[in-house]
């Protein structure tokens, strides 16, 4: 009888059409405009760096999982995401072997040792960057260059094109900031400035972000609360908020790193608190810290706070509108 | 000039309001959370209800959930008439069962049910005459009946919630003395994909829906009723509106179209969508002055009062990719599913899964040769390709389940507690609020069986509470 072959599984018997590999692949797609912008502004070394990141991450995941006789999960695209992000948060002219090792650290230590996809506490790409900058600080923090296209540009008058300082570094050093910052808005928006490989072009990042929003993979809660908080705190301190929003890794961090599912709070209220926390920390580091930029460390610190946020910040239940008499 | 300024400001303020609403609130007739899965209703939504062929046997189950077992009033070899009471519950909670056909009792004993369990049942072989029992007479002088008498008639007719849960209707109608109820809500949402049984009842028998509604209103003593219908059934809304305007006096019956959004048919959500009232967690609808009943239940009530028929028939939607000719069938309750599928031209291709109810909350049955029940709103046959399930992947904490949960719970965390056996954690994260709608599992990109784990946690929490109570009693 045909019946004996019937499948009995628990409800629901319909499933949505978005699965985890699709999600991760969409993040890769969303990162591509910023990668292309990075290669456009910083040249072939940037492309090599991106390849090194992906090779390091995917290779590490494959090798470690083979060695530990676990199922190989490189097909879920998540290692590709980490690989691209690692290259994107490092300077464009950093030696490729550093990018590879950062990827191996991110996947091997930060992701797989904690249990693999879904179990890591810290954002693997940012932890990989933190590792690289701590281990080879001279090499990993001097690879910043100004795009060749900015030379001779009117807005760049008074800037020493040979220096490798990013706009935020120059601000920290007091080289800029005395006068109006508005001349930097357009280069920062387009990406025609020194910075990490994938962080400079706000335009390219926003194109990717719009794609993720359209696909409903991310919401605006974390990015907006993060960005608005940075703008408000820096404005209160008397600095140009728009300069702060557009410079450094804020747009990249807010839309692609702070929104990392695994390492951000699971409910709406928690996500807004997380974003505000990232924003306050970033602004404080930029304004008062020893580093010119604080996006990476802010997100990593807030990652550590996620279990606590999930514990204490709970959504209001359906029907729980007011206390009933 | 001043006028322009004012107009501009009004415009800005109101458009800000719209933006705010768009971001934060939901359209009228809806709620936050939920999903809109493919409806799959078009293959049967336009098909009139057809009468079932005479079944070769009917199997009347003696168990409607663990809490109310029935005892048989007939024995093997007895002759029974259509509509004759053949089984009675022990307490006041359950309802009796009636023979859907006239014929001979061939067995009283163990059968396999749709849940895969073995259960007690009365099996009857129809004689094809459908001779009606003498007890099946319409109720006269409804106006003279007290509320208690009306509720008793409904109980005696074996009427239960026909949306699937089979909760006894008379229990819903019997309100605590201090309850202040002002509205009867009739649930015509039919939010489960594929199902069109209630849809067809509303289109074809709107007069009976309204009549049943009016009887139910009288039984609970309210003069206002609302029928909530998802807006993917405009023909049903129109038919009901016409019927309510034609209906003779008997209170105000309002038909409200609500957004097509799963799980709109959850009673708490339909109350929110139609009446704007919030039923607090752990509370029943009467706490906000509402009693909710299903479309099918209203029609069953009308059948009992106007035609004298107890609940022995219902509409079932037989549909899905694995059925040759999907149909809405008025079937005798207890007809084996396989006979209904055969009436629909049999299987199309290789059946992979047979589901009693809808695809979101229905139960997959182990074989097609199982009896239908009072709660069988659909028989959904999926072909093998559609039935394939995928191995779950790790939770990536994407929060889609949290976003989708219509009860505003955190299914991913509940799943975590359930898997770890941390029942008190699961309880603290409000597992008991879960309405088991399945949105979390539907949304999960890692294909995890979230709702299943939460159901398991609910059962464990319930068992521990019972155990604690028993310890306390001793």
For residue B445, the chain A residues in CB contact (below 8 A) are 16, 18-20, 22-23
pLDDT confidence of residue B1? 42
Q: Which one of B445, B448, B458 makes the best mutation probe of the A interface by having the most chain A beta carbons within 10 Å?
A: B445
Q: A118 vs chain B: nearest CA distance in angstroms? A: 4
**What pLDDT is stored for residue A153 in this prediction?**
62
Looking at residue B153, what is its pLDDT? 96
Binding-face residues of B in 364-403 toward A, CB within 8 A: 364-369, 380, 382, 387, 389-390, 393-400, 402-403
When pLDDT is averaged across residues A21-33 and rounded to a whole number, the result is: 96
Please report residues of A whose CB lies closer than 8 A to that of B115.
Answer: none
Q: Which of B19, B396, B429 to mutate to test the interface with A (most CBs of A within 10 A)?
A: B396
Judged by CB atoms closer than 8 Å, whether chains meet at A318 and B438 is answered as: no
Q: What angle do CA B432, B435, B440 make, to 5 degrees?
A: 105
Beta bridge partners of B132: B82
Contact state of A319 with B359 under an 8 Å Cβ cutoff:
no
Q: Which residues of A touch B412 (CB under 8 A)?
A: 266
The Cα of A49 is separated from the nearest Cα of chain B by a number of Å equal to 27
- What are the residue ranges in chain B where pLDDT is below 50? 1-2, 4-6, 8-25
Secondary structure (3-state) at B424: helix
Q: Confirm or reject contact between B231 and chain A (CB < 8 A).
A: no
Chain A residues with CB under 8 Å of B407 CB are 317-318
- Separation between Cα atoms, residue B70 and residue B159, nearest integer Å: 14
Cβ of A65 under 8 Å from any chain B Cβ? no
- CB proximity A8 to B under 8 Å: yes
B342 CB within 8 Å of a chain A CB? no
For residue A163, give how far its alpha carbon lies from the nearest alpha carbon of chain B (Å): 42
Residues of B in contact with A271 (CB under 8 A): 399
- 10 Å CB burial of residue A156 (0-12, 13-18, 19+) is middle
Q: Look at A40-49, A240-249, B250-259 and tell me which has the smallest mean pLDDT.
A: B250-259
pLDDT of A141 > 80? The answer is no
Inspect the interface and report whether the beta carbons of A318 and B406 lie closer than 8 Å: yes
- CB-based contact, A157 to chain B, within 8 Å: no
Closest of B133, B113, B128 to residue B73, by C-alpha? B133
ipTM field: 0.89
Whether B366 and A2 lie within 8 Å, measured CB to CB = no
B282 CA to chain A: closest CA distance, Å?
9
pLDDT of A150 reads 65
Among B193, B399, B449, the residue with its CB nearest the CB of A261 is: B399
* Strands annotated E in B128-267: 183-188, 224-230, 252-258
Instruction: Tell me the per-residue pLDDT of A72-112, one tens digit each, with 9 for 90 and over.
Output: 999 999 999 999 999 999 999 899 999 999 999 999 999 99
Name the residue among B359, B390, B443 with its Cβ closest to that of A13. B359
State the best of A1, A10, A13, A122 to mutate against chain B, taking most chain B CBs within 10 Å. Answer: A13
Helices B295-307 and B197-204: crossing angle, nearest 10°? 50
Average pLDDT over every residue of A298-314 = 96
Whole-angstrom CA distances from A75 to A72, A79, A80, B110, B276 are 8, 9, 9, 49, 47
Could you tell me which chain A residue has the CA closest to the CA of B389? A9
Q: Say yes or no: A75 contacts chain B, CB-CB below 8 A.
A: no
Mean per-residue pLDDT of chain A: 90
The predicted model scores a pTM of 0.90
Residue from the list A2, A23, A267 with its beta carbon closest to the beta carbon of B402: A267
* Ramachandran class of B367: left when φ > 0, alpha when ψ lies in -120 to 50, beta otherwise: beta
Contact between residue A145 and residue A92 where contact means Cβ atoms under 8 Å apart? yes
Which residue in A has a C-alpha nearest to residue B349's C-alpha?
Answer: A2
Run of H or E including B58: strand B58-61
Contact assignment for A16 to B35 by CB distance below 8 Å: yes
Report CB contact under 8 Å: B445, A19: yes
B61 neighbors B119 (Cβ within 8 angstroms): yes
CA distance A231 to chain B (A): 22
> What distance in Å separates the CA atoms of residue A202 and residue B221, rounded to the nearest whole number?
64
**Residue matched to tokens 């694995």:** B322
List the single residue in B351, B433, B443 with the smallest CB-CB distance to A6: B351
Across the interface, which of B280, B359, B409 has its CB nearest the CB of A14?
A: B359
Q: With beta carbons under 8 A apart, name residues in chain A contacting B365.
A: 6, 8
CB neighbour burial string for B257-283, b if at least 16 within 10 angstroms, e if fewer:
bbbbbbbbbbbbbbbbbbbebbbbbee
| Span B189-245, pLDDT tens digits | 999 999 999 999 999 999 999 999 999 999 999 999 999 999 999 999 999 999 998
- Dihedral sign computed on CA atoms, order B414, B420, B422, B425: negative
Residue A264 touches partner B, C-beta closer than 8 Å: yes
Of residues A109, A163, A98, the one with CA closest to residue A89: A98
Q: Which residue has the tokens 């992000």?
A: A85
Question: How many pairs of residues across A and B have Cβ atoms under 8 Å apart?
Answer: 173
Residues of B in contact with A316 (CB under 8 A): 408
Window B:23-42, CB contacts with A under 8 Å: 31-33, 35, 37-38
Per-residue pLDDT, A173? 79
The side-by-side arrangement of strands in the sheet containing B103-112 is B58-61, B118-126, B103-112, B79-80
Q: Å from A161 to nearest chain B CA?
A: 43
Computed from CA positions of residues A263, A269, A273, A278, in that sequence, does the dihedral angle turn out positive or negative?
A: positive
Shortest CA distance from B36: residue in chain A: A16
Tell me which residue in B279, B367, B433 faces A3 most closely, judged by beta carbons: B367
Q: Do A23 and B445 touch (CB under 8 A)?
A: yes
Taking the C-alpha atoms of residue A41 and residue A29, their distance in angstroms, rounded to an integer, is: 19
Query: Does B417 reach chain A within 8 Å, measured CB to CB?
Result: no
- The token duo for B341 is 């599928």
What was the pLDDT predicted at B219?
95
pLDDT for A222 equals: 97
């Amino acid at each position: 009888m045909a019946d004996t072959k019937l499948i009995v599984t628990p409800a629901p018997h319909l499933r949505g059409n978005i699965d985890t590999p699709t999600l991760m692949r969409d993040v890769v797609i969303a990162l591509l405009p910023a990668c292309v912008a990075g290669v456009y502004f910083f040249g072939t070394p940037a492309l090599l760096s991106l390849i090194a990141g992906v090779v390091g991450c995917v290779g590490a995941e494959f090798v470690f999982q083979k060695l530990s006789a676990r199922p190989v999960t490189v097909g879920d695209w998540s290692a590709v995401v980490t690989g691209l992000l690692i290259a994107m948060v490092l300077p464009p002219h950093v030696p490729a072997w550093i990018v590879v090792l950062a990827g191996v650290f991110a996947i091997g230590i930060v992701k797989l040792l904690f249990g693999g996809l879904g179990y890591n506490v810290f954002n693997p790409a940012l932890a990989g960057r933190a590792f690289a900058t701590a281990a080879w600080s001279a090499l990993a923090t001097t690879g910043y260059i100004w795009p060749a296209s900015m030379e001779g540009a009117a807005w760049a008058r008074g800037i020493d094109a040979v220096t490798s300082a990013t706009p935020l570094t120059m601000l920290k050093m007091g080289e800029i900031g005395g006068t109006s910052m508005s001349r930097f808005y357009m280069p920062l928006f387009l990406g025609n400035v020194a910075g990490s490989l994938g962080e400079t072009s706000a335009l390219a990042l926003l194109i990717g972000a719009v794609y993720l929003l359209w696909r409903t993979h991310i919401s605006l809660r974390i990015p907006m609360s993060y960005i608005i908080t940075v703008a408000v705190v820096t404005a209160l301190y008397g600095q140009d908020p728009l300069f702060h929003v557009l410079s450094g890794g804020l747009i990249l961090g807010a839309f692609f790193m702070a929104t990392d599912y695994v390492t951000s709070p699971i409910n709406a209220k928690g996500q807004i608190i997380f974003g505000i926390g990232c924003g306050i920390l970033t602004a404080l580091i930029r304004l008062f810290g020893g580093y010119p930029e604080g996006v990476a460390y802010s997100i990593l610190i807030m990652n550590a706070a996620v279990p606590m946020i999930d514990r204490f910040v709970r959504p209001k239940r359906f029907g729980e509108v007011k206390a009933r008499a | 000039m001043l006028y322009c300024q004012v107009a501009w400001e009004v415009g800005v303020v109101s458009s800000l309001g719209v933006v705010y609403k768009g971001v934060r609130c939901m359209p009228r007739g809806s709620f936050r959370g939920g999903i809109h899965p493919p409806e799959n209703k078009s293959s049967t939504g336009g098909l009139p209800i057809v009468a079932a062929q005479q079944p070769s046997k009917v199997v009347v189950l003696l168990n409607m959930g663990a809490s109310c077992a029935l005892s048989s009033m007939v024995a093997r070899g007895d002759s029974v008439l259509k509509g004759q009471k053949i089984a009675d519950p022990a307490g006041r909670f359950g309802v009796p069962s009636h023979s859907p056909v006239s014929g001979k009792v061939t067995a009283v004993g163990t059968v396999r049910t749709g849940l895969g369990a073995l259960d007690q049942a009365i099996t009857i072989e129809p004689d094809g005459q459908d001779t009606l029992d003498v007890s099946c007479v319409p109720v006269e002088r409804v106006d003279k009946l007290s509320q208690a008498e009306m509720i008793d008639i409904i109980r005696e007719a074996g009427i239960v919630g026909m949306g699937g849960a089979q909760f006894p209707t008379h229990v819903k109608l019997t309100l605590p003395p201090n309850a202040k109820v002002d509205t009867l809500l009739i649930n015509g949402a039919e939010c489960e994909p594929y199902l069109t049984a209630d849809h067809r009842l509303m289109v074809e028998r709107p007069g009976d829906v309204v009549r049943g509604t009016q009887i139910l209103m009288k039984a609970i003593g309210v003069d206002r009723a609302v029928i909530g219908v998802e807006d993917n059934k405009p023909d049903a809304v129109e038919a009901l509106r016409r019927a309510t305007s034609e209906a003779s006096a008997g209170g105000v019956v309002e038909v409200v179209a609500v957004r097509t959004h799963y799980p709109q048919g959850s009673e708490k959500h339909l109350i929110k969508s139609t009446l704007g009232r919030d039923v607090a967690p752990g509370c029943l609808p009467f706490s906000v002055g509402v009693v909710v009943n299903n479309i099918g239940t209203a029609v069953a009530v009308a059948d009992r009062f106007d035609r004298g028929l107890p609940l022995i028939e219902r509409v079932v939607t037989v549909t899905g990719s694995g059925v040759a000719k999907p149909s809405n069938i008025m079937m005798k309750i207890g007809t084996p599913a396989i006979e209904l599928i055969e009436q629909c031209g049999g299987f199309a291709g290789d059946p992979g899964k047979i589901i009693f109810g809808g695809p979101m909350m229905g139960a997959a049955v182990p074989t097609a040769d199982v009896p239908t029940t009072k709660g069988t709103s659909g028989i959904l046959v999926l072909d093998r390709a559609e039935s394939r399930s995928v191995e779950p992947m790790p939770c990536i904490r994407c929060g889609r389940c949290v976003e989708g949960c219509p009860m505003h719970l955190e299914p991913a965390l509940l799943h975590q507690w359930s898997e770890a056996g941390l029942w008190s954690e699961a309880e603290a994260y409000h597992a008991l609020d879960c309405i088991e709608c399945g949105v979390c599992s539907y949304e999960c990109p890692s294909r995890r069986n979230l709702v299943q784990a939460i159901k398991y946690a609910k059962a464990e929490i319930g068992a521990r509470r019972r155990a604690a109570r028993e310890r306390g009693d001793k």
